[in-house]
Chains A and B, each alone.
Chain A
Amino acid sequence: GAGVSQSPSNKVTEKGKDVELRCDPISGHTALYWYRQSLGQGLEFLIYFQGNSAPDKSGLPSDRFSAERTGGSVSTLTIQRTQQEDSAVYLCASSFLLRGDANYGYTFGSGTRLTVV
């Protein structure tokens, strides 16, 4: 596609339920990042995928969080047994290179706003 697409754009879920967030990066972009932004905080790194390398999961806050990237393209971020502190905007970004484009950095999706009630 022309840009990075994320779905759903908004998700309200009950505490304890599982949720799945989807990111469709720009075609050909080998690097894909997941971030989240909680209210009043900076972007918090969650996980990145780079080509066929093992993903860097060092930012995942707990074992309730997992992510997959199938066929080097679409990625899903799964949060199991959601808690209220998981409420945040979840952003996906992609680029050709891990370090981003020299002029344009990373291309972001418009995010999924997750609210856990």
Chain B
Amino acid sequence: ILNVEQSPQSLHVQEGDSTNFTCSFPSSNFYALHWYRWETAKSPEALFVMTLNGDEKKKGRISATLNTKEGYSYLYIKGSQPEDSATYLCAYMDSNYQLIWGAGTKLIIKP
């Protein structure tokens, strides 16, 4: 059974601090790894689509790394702001374009 694990499940971070969390996924039949941010009452919003081992992507204060050989990706947020509060979802896509989702990391930024 293919499984995507995200840790931690939830995280409280002081405003201004940096943080990171993990997505673990199967290392076989890998095609892509997606990261999404899902704010309450809004649509999940794509952050990154990563395909190459060793990939690093950045969008503002948020960045992500990818290790397809060992099956993990890290998402980093630098200098957390209240607007970063959301659930961060990762999804593993296999070579048949099937997506398997993690349960998410819920991030709460304390002002």
Contact = CB atoms under 8 A, between A and B. Distances in A.
Interface of A: 3-4, 35, 40-45, 91, 93, 98-111
Given A42-B4, A104-B46, A106-B46, A99 B103 contact: no
A41 B103 contact: yes
B49 A101 contact: yes
Contact of A43 (B42, B49, B51, B101): B101
Interface in B1-51: 4, 31-32, 34, 36, 41-46, 49, 51
Interface residues of B, number: 24
A102 B99 contact: no
Contacts of B45: 108
Nearest first, the 6 A-B pairs at minimum CB distance are A43-B101, A105-B46, A42-B101, A42-B103, A108-B43, A99-B97
A110 B36 CA distance: 13
B46 A45 contact: no
Contacts of B89: 42-43
Contacts of A105: 34, 36, 46, 49
Of B34, B36, B43, most buried by chain A (CB within 10 Å of CB) is B43
A99 B102 contact: no
Contacts of B42: 110
A42 B49 CA distance: 18
Of A91, A99, A103, A111, most buried by chain B (CB within 10 Å of CB) is A99
A85 B100 CA distance: 21
B4 A99 contact: no
A99 B101 contact: no
